Amino acid sequence: MDILTKGPERWSEETINTKRYFITDALDDFIGCSNRAEELFIANTLADLLSEFVLRTNHQWLGSSKWVFRSLRNYDEEFANHFVEAFDSFYKAGNKNQVVQLVDYVLQPFGGQLFNGFSLGKS
């Protein structure tokens, strides 16, 4: 089977939970931040974490730079457009609501945001 068609190995539950934690942490920083310069960098981190999560939990290969969008679009064009609209709304107008909703939408099937009770390296 072609390696591109096969896709990457599935993430373990532990990996999914770790990624949920880091996304939740970045989202919390994003929501609570009022410094525009810091918000920009947090938004970039959140976009990277979220795109990785969506693609890998759906057994899709990642890309970098323009290939992130192309990978998302290849996976689900409607979702990719929604993803871009959410972050574009923040970058243009400072509106965080669509990004917050997008994160909640992506994490919901996996149990939602993860903070309380999570600890790295402990069973």
Model confidence pLDDT, tens digit, residues 19-57: 999 999 999 999 999 999 999 999 999 999 999 999 999
Q: Which long-range contacts (CB under 8 A, 24 or more apart) does 118-121 make?
A: 118/17, 118/21, 120/18, 120/21
The tokens describing 107, both together, are: 């994490």
Q: Is the pLDDT of residue 122 over 60?
A: no
pLDDT for 59-114, tens place per residue? Answer: 999 989 999 999 999 999 999 999 999 999 999 999 999 999 999 999 999 999 99
Neighbours of 6 (CB within 10 A): 10
**Domain assignment present for 116:** no
16 in a structural domain: yes
- Report yes or no on 36 lying in a domain: yes
State the pLDDT at residue 63: 87
Query: 93: domain range?
Result: 12-110
Residue 123 has pLDDT above 60, yes or no: no
pLDDT at 121: 56
Residue 117, pLDDT score: 58
| pLDDT confidence band for 2 (50 / 70 / 90) | confident
Indicate yes or no: pTM above 0.75. Answer: yes
Band of pLDDT at residue 115, cut at 50, 70 and 90: confident
Is 2 domain-assigned?
Answer: no
For residue 49, tell me if it sits in a domain. yes
The answer to the question of residue 115 being in a domain is no
> What is the tally of structural domains in the chain?
1
CA 32-104-88 angle, 5° bins: 70
Residue 66: inside a domain: yes
Residue 48 lies in a domain: yes
